[in-house]
Structure 1
Amino acid sequence: MVDSSYADERNQLDAIMAGIDKTVASYISGYIVDFLQSESEVDELSEVMDEVLKPMLQGSGSSGTDMDSILSRIENLTIQRLKENEALNKNSSALHKLDAPIDLRSEQERTSLTARMIQSGVRTDLSHSKGKVVTSKVDTKKLRKAEAKIAAKMEKRELKANYEASKLIEEDTLEDEFLMKVNPILDYTETKGKIKDIALENFDITFGGKKILTNAELKLVFGRRYGLIGKNGVGKSTLLRNISVRDLPIPTYISILHVEQEMAGDDTSAINSVLKADFFREILLKEESQIMASLKELGEGVSEDKDVESSKNQMGDRLNEIHKKLQEIESDKAESKAGEILSGLGFSSNDFSRPTRSFSGGWRMRLSLARALFCKPDLLLLDEPTNMLDIPAVVWLERYLQGWPNTLLVVSHDREFLDYVATDIIHQHSERLDQYKGNFSQFWATADDRKKNQRKEYEAQQKLRQHLQDYIDRWRYNAKRAPQAQSKLKVLEKLPVLELPEVEKTVTFSFPECESLPAPLLYMDEVGFGYSKEKKILSGVNINMEMKSRVAIVGPNGAGKTTMLKLLIGALTPTSGLVHRHGRLRIAYFSQHHVDQLDLSLTAVGHMAKNYPGKNEEEYRKHLGSFGISGMTALQKIQTLSGGQKSRVAFACLAVQKPHFIILDEPTNHLDMESIDALTLACKSFNGGVVLVSHDERFIDAVCTELWVCSDGKLAQFKGNGIKAYKDMVCPPVII
């Protein structure tokens, strides 16, 4: 920028516009001077003349003046000064020899001193190269105020990211408000003709200062079912929360429901809580009831009062509209649909009338899922929906979701579930999302081929880049070959940026070998248990286990599977019968609620040192590292770890006990697929006994050789051919 006051130009402009209104002339003169001071180019002048100056001059109302001549003179004057500016800038930017060396140390000290003075609130004189002194106009108080506003905004954004989008709130008014957030357009019968595909491009997501996604793309086609997979801690649940609270630009007419936590309990019956979840239906029924009551008050028959008759007609028309909309959403079938969903998720007919507060957390989670399935939102988000379900409920959900008419995005590590449900797979990794057609088996079968092709493509491009760069470096300064070198440079710049496929760390679990013990090791003889005489949970249980036993216990929730495990380890005492355990038998137990067994205020190393003393920190860290808790993760407080990482700490605690028997209650709930594979191999190679309760079909099939069914207070060995046969037996096909 040329340092000048432009007084001469302002005087010349005033002379050119002598016959123009003074206010307009003064404005145009100031506008031209500002245009010159902004270092604008000649090419920009024509646009300014046509769009700004010409309309102002023509609208000034001056008579007897030649506007075209004035515009031409202004344009010539401006072009002349712009060219002078360009020449001056060119000369000032030319290289010149310094008269004396510059003392860089003194310059650095002066800059540091200036920065300290600004931070302390002192108004500072900034010295420029031309010697002109400019006083800093930075108001430090306003600066601090602006920084505080930004900090408050970031804090608010972080709180919003933690918003519990799936929690069904206890009070009716708040519950309605929640559902309106999920489905902002109440009359969803009017959205039928609208396009409900979702296309999100170039979006970023951060959480707690950590980058989750960078320049990511996500495309969800209406009616497709997407399985979202990725390692523990990669940010899958965070992505679902950002979608559910509409932090991402999703059309407002698309209804979204995120099932993440169990609903709060109250006195509402289970089936009514499901029916009330359809907020639009509830509004229509309420309005219908109000209109019917109003019509009853006005009386039947024809009235002589025209206003009364007009009101009756209006209410009748509105009643017809309501009935039409209720018919469209099949309101008359709502109760049977709600009952079907509840039955499929394991609720008995007696449970339908029970108040929601009487159910445990796991069953309230099922109620939340039932409400979501009943609502049928345009986009349903499910986060590990099978964690709290037994095998019959998982199978029913698989078959029900196969007929899901809208868009589904589900996070799951259950491969069999994804094979049944997903039509597409979204792989979240390396701050990006990759989408693939087909279910999980199809994705997994081609994963190695994709990585090989990506590596070949990357290596081929690197060779091409090197070849082009060598040509450019060799000939860019040769007069004859310079055009070709320039052409090669353009090709090089247009090449897409490819990344080498990431090398994934292999996860390995291992349980130490144990010494052999003579039989009998562990058995039950006519064991029964009940918290009271009236409430018996198990009776007549007989089972014998050896060092090589691989036993899976399956059955519906509430049948007594966990009670059976607690009887085995001695946490419960049987009310009848005998549980025999070898005197030297060591049993390691992984609870379904294993987090309760961990001291969340300690680090993983600290927890192990407290509960299993006798080793130094390096030995504990090495042991934790063998279960994927390595580096700084081992020194973080356990409460800051993800669900899968907490599970790995619990498995490390099992291994350090050097058990003869490992008893696992739903061990795969929070593990990613790589960790499930590692646990599978560890259980298969362990030379002791394994007893487990799980709904993961693949895990059971890979580890166990015996299947025992716990149902109706009994425990009996299943005679069929594995877990698939059991699933087919307990779950007939579902008709949607």
Structure 2
Amino acid sequence: MGTSIRELHKLLTSKLPEPRRDARPIEPGKMESELQSQIPGLDHIITEYSVGYLTHAANLYVDDACAESPLTEAAESVTELLVSASGDFSPQNYEAIGNLVTRFITTLSSSDGDPERRQMPFKAKKLEQTINVGAQRNMSSTLGLTGNTVDLESANARKMESKVDKKKLEKAERKIRAKQDKKSMKNVTYEASRLLNQPDEAMSYEEFFMAVNPLQMGSDSQAKSKDIKLDNIDISISGLRILTDAAFTLAYGRRYGLVGQNGIGKSTLLRALSRREIPIPTHVSILHVEQEITGDDTPALQAVLDADVWRKHLLSEQAKISKQLAAIEEERSSLADTSKDAARLDEQREGLDITLSDIYGKLSEMESDKAESRAASILAGLGFSQERQQYATKTFSGGWRMRLSLARALFCEPDLLLLDEPSNMLDVPSITFLSNYLQGYPSTVLVVSHDRAFLNEVATDIIHQHSERLDYYRGANFESFYATKEERRKTAKREYEKQMGERAHLQAFIDKFRYNAAKSSEAQSRIKKLERMPVLEPPEAEYTVHFAFPGVEKLSPPIVQMSDVCFGYTKDRPLLRDVDLDVQLDSRIGIVGPNGAGKTTVLKLLTNQLEPTSGLISTNSRLRIGFFAQHHVDALDMTTSAVGFMTKTYPGKTDEEYRRHLGAFGITGTTGLQRMGLLSGGQKSRVAFACLSLTNPHILVLDEPSNHLDIEGMDALSDALRAFEGGVVMVSHDVTMLQNVCTSLWVCDGGTVHKFDGTVNAYKKKITAQADAAGVVAKH
């Protein structure tokens, strides 16, 4: 039997590896051939490096009972390197390679071996200066030296001359890293735009809130700065690196919009912040809107009040201490002032009075007396009438429970409020309220959103997440950020191309005259100039997405016509009445209105999914309607690939044709062959649009089509809808998409649908004016 992983780990973590009785030592000169035999085709650069690294570590062995042998980290790193280079991550291969490394280090560490094989161990020595391991930029990430291990050459006071060709080593490491990335992509289960689950299902909301946000009593917490500044943060999930050595900075009171492509890791960053996996100071309170609340018999208004756990806890303690004081007063009144029991009770009362005073001070700081009115105004702004505020939370649908989660977060007013795509759960009136509310928010806001209009109104700064880093655009809303980003990209591209041209010109002269005696000095001068030139990273490729819908054959009118249509899910409670709507091949109709008013119902009536209670819906007999549902993911099979799903659902084409069709909607490369459960929310939306276009529709009926799409995807969809030759009817909360696509705006409210004479911005202004008149907009 070979060395097991458990035995290997035990051997590597011991002070000095002991020779195995059944392990045949490997002579240093034969280690390379053994590795080549175990891993056919292994690059000899990696072989030389592995042997040299282990030998070097053996020479640096610290003969100290409390010190850890450098062989431990060297053996672990080399084993991981060789396993990665082999491309076989099976336990059997890991065991075989680990056995080889064990046998080799047994020889190196053996005290019975050749004395020249090991030098005398060096003693522990105080470093002349502090070494920041994380800042060592030339460490090998493949060997794991950027973690808690030590850069051996930097830590060792002796100057060791490396015999490894660094350029060849870097090339080998890039190959290994590419293999690791390819492997890890198969196992990634991260979905960027999906609402995350409860952080710990074993913990209640109250327990998690108090664990993440410890109560800060007294004035010390108020005096502390609530700015956040962290350097060199790394975040990974399921083997996928999200951020590397990134700087994270938030100035207190600023509102940050976090933008980036679908799947780049924005939600992962928010989740890490909300759990304090990133070291945020404990006096900075954090709250993340990430899931709908659990429904029970608690009224909606009380659920919002209960969200401020410390307020609820302090009120409970206040009532408890007040009862204790009343009991002490009653007992004290029957005792003489000079008795021992009286002195004891006076001491207890004094302690309780101090505690109660602290509680009163904290409740006053929280403005606890204004809590109920503030909670009611927030709920009203998010669409909850006074009557609905008294409904039990279990009576609300998932979308309304998400609104309750948002209301709870706004009510708690944490120092750092984290919002992940808040507009996905809101209608235009509620988005307008939220935008106005956040503009007066006194603390820090970090919001992930792809709604340009929302970011333009709310954000004071933009953070662009890409390429495992964060770029800051201070004092910028989305429009100014986008313009600045494009200018930066173009400038970087020009500088890079200019330098590449200069490098090519210098290299051509060097190659031509390097061995020319008359020109050798000039060639050497150009060589030095080339070496002094800064190394510029190639600019990122411009990220673009293109959608394309098929052409449409002409139909004679009427295409779709609704006349005096009435509908109700029950006869005694009609939802819609007297609806008149006409859709033509050139129609671009946007339907807006509060949630629950019947917008989706209108779309289902148009697509014959519902029958009207009365009235007439006439359609062309040859008409094909494509319907994009708000919960489109429910129609996809998460266990198969996009190509496999299309083959089964829309047969008649080859796999290559399906892949080309998906490419027209931004699903390129091998993404169409991956299991759809591994795709991000935006990628699933693109698959749904690709499937929709296979039906060759004359009319596109879209229910919240912008949900989960990144900004580039929304731009591509807007362009495709404008170019579409058929008609478009959409329900959307995204103001930018409505402005870019729709030429006609209809409002669904008050039990009917009527045309609005004006733009989306005019509709928003009307809503804001109505809210102000009703006193809905909360004041801080």
- Three-state SS of the structure 2 residue aligned to 1:731 is helix
Matching residue of 2:180? none
Matching residue of 2:485? 447
What is the aligned counterpart of 2:365 among 328, 334, 338? 328
CA distance in 1, matches of 2:190, 2:712: 31
Report the Cα offset of residue 541 of structure 1: 0.9
Matching residue of 1:513? 551
What is the aligned counterpart of 2:442 among 386, 396, 405? 405
Matching residue of 2:610? 572
Superposed CA offset, 1:345-404 (max 9, x none)? 111111211111111111111111111111111111111010010000001100111111
- Three-state SS of the structure 2 residue aligned to 1:334 is helix
Report the Cα offset of residue 621 of structure 1: 0.9
1:589 aligns with 2:627: yes
CA distance in 1, matches of 2:255, 2:363: 28
Change in CA separation of 1:334 and 1:456 when aligned onto 2, cut-off 3 Å? same
Matching residue of 1:288? 318
What is the aligned counterpart of 2:654 among 593, 613, 616? 616
Q: Which moved more, 1:433-442 or 1:161-170?
A: 161-170
CA-based RMSD of the aligned residues comes to: 3.7
**What TM-score, normalized by structure 2, do the two folds share?**
0.71
Change in CA separation of 1:225 and 1:311 when aligned onto 2, cut-off 3 Å? same
Consecutive unaligned residues in structure 2, runs of 5 or more: 1-57, 62-92, 119-183, 337-341
What is the aligned counterpart of 2:638 among 597, 600, 621? 600
- Three-state SS of the structure 1 residue aligned to 2:407 is helix
What is the aligned counterpart of 1:532 among 560, 570, 577? 570
AA of the residue aligned to 1:315: L
Change in CA separation of 1:307 and 1:706 when aligned onto 2, cut-off 3 Å? same
CA distance in 2, matches of 1:226, 1:455: 27
Q: Is the 8 A contact 2:506 2:526 kept in 1?
A: no
Matching residue of 1:319? 356
1:118 aligns with 2:99: yes
Report the Cα offset of residue 463 of structure 1: 6.2
Matching residue of 2:595? 557
Matching residue of 2:688? 650
Q: Report 1:647-726 matches (<5 A).
A: 647-719=685-757, 721-726=758-763
CA distance in 1, matches of 2:195, 2:559: 48
AA of the residue aligned to 1:716: H
Matching residue of 2:424? 387
Q: Is the 8 A contact 1:169 1:175 kept in 2?
A: no
Change in CA separation of 1:626 and 1:266 when aligned onto 2, cut-off 3 Å? same
Q: Is the 8 A contact 1:291 1:315 kept in 2?
A: yes
CA distance in 2, matches of 1:725, 1:132: 88
CA distance in 1, matches of 2:98, 2:267: 46
AA of the residue aligned to 1:194: K
Matching residue of 1:421? 458
Report the Cα offset of residue 643 of structure 1: 0.3
Matching residue of 2:291? 261
Change in CA separation of 1:521 and 1:314 when aligned onto 2, cut-off 3 Å? same
Q: Which moved more, 1:459-468 or 1:607-616?
A: 459-468
AA of the residue aligned to 2:353: G
CA distance in 2, matches of 1:126, 1:426: 54
Change in CA separation of 1:320 and 1:723 when aligned onto 2, cut-off 3 Å? same
What is the aligned counterpart of 2:388 among 330, 346, 351? 351
Report the Cα offset of residue 213 of structure 1: 1.9
Q: Is the 8 A contact 1:165 1:245 kept in 2?
A: no
Q: Report 1:32-431 matches (<5 A).
A: 118=99, 126=107, 132=114, 167=198, 174-187=204-217, 190-299=220-329, 303-304=335-336, 305-431=342-468
Q: Is the 8 A contact 1:665 1:693 kept in 2?
A: yes
**What TM-score, normalized by structure 1, do the two folds share?**
0.75
- Three-state SS of the structure 1 residue aligned to 2:349 is helix
Report the Cα offset of residue 606 of structure 1: 1.1
CA distance in 2, matches of 1:577, 1:242: 54
1:432 aligns with 2:469: yes
Q: Is the 8 A contact 1:117 1:123 kept in 2?
A: no
AA of the residue aligned to 1:551: I
Change in CA separation of 1:340 and 1:131 when aligned onto 2, cut-off 3 Å? closer
Superposed CA offset, 1:596-655 (max 9, x none)? 111212210111111111111111111111111121101011111110000001100111
Report the Cα offset of residue 278 of structure 1: 1.1
State how many pairs are aligned. Answer: 604
Q: Is the 8 A contact 2:216 2:283 kept in 1?
A: no
Change in CA separation of 1:530 and 1:318 when aligned onto 2, cut-off 3 Å? same
CA distance in 2, matches of 1:642, 1:188: 45
Q: Is the 8 A contact 2:210 2:310 kept in 1?
A: no
Q: Which moved more, 1:590-599 or 1:213-222?
A: 213-222
AA of the residue aligned to 1:427: H
Change in CA separation of 1:181 and 1:123 when aligned onto 2, cut-off 3 Å? same
CA distance in 2, matches of 1:344, 1:514: 43
Q: Which moved more, 1:309-318 or 1:342-351?
A: 309-318
Identity %: 50
Change in CA separation of 1:169 and 1:238 when aligned onto 2, cut-off 3 Å? closer
Report the Cα offset of residue 284 of structure 1: 1.4
CA distance in 1, matches of 2:117, 2:296: 67
AA of the residue aligned to 2:750: D
Report the Cα offset of residue 253 of structure 1: 2.1
Q: Is the 8 A contact 1:666 1:693 kept in 2?
A: yes
Q: Is the 8 A contact 1:540 1:714 kept in 2?
A: yes
Report the Cα offset of residue 499 of structure 1: 2.0
- Three-state SS of the structure 2 residue aligned to 1:336 is helix
AA of the residue aligned to 2:366: I
Consecutive unaligned residues in structure 1, runs of 5 or more: 1-36, 41-111, 137-153
Q: Is the 8 A contact 1:661 1:689 kept in 2?
A: yes
AA of the residue aligned to 1:370: A
Report the Cα offset of residue 415 of structure 1: 0.3
CA distance in 1, matches of 2:487, 2:448: 24
State which structure, 1 or 2, has the greater radius of gyration over its C-alpha atoms: 1
Change in CA separation of 1:409 and 1:486 when aligned onto 2, cut-off 3 Å? farther
- Three-state SS of the structure 1 residue aligned to 2:575 is strand
AA of the residue aligned to 1:387: N
Change in CA separation of 1:223 and 1:655 when aligned onto 2, cut-off 3 Å? same
Q: Is the 8 A contact 2:382 2:403 kept in 1?
A: yes
Q: Report 1:422-501 matches (<5 A).
A: 422-437=459-474, 438-462=476-500, 492=531, 497-501=535-539
Q: Which moved more, 1:162-171 or 1:267-276?
A: 162-171
CA distance in 2, matches of 1:563, 1:707: 17
Report the Cα offset of residue 249 of structure 1: 2.3
AA of the residue aligned to 2:559: L
Matching residue of 2:128? none
Change in CA separation of 1:550 and 1:628 when aligned onto 2, cut-off 3 Å? same
Change in CA separation of 1:165 and 1:310 when aligned onto 2, cut-off 3 Å? farther
CA distance in 2, matches of 1:337, 1:463: 63
CA distance in 2, matches of 1:231, 1:450: 18
Q: Which moved more, 1:646-655 or 1:160-169?
A: 160-169
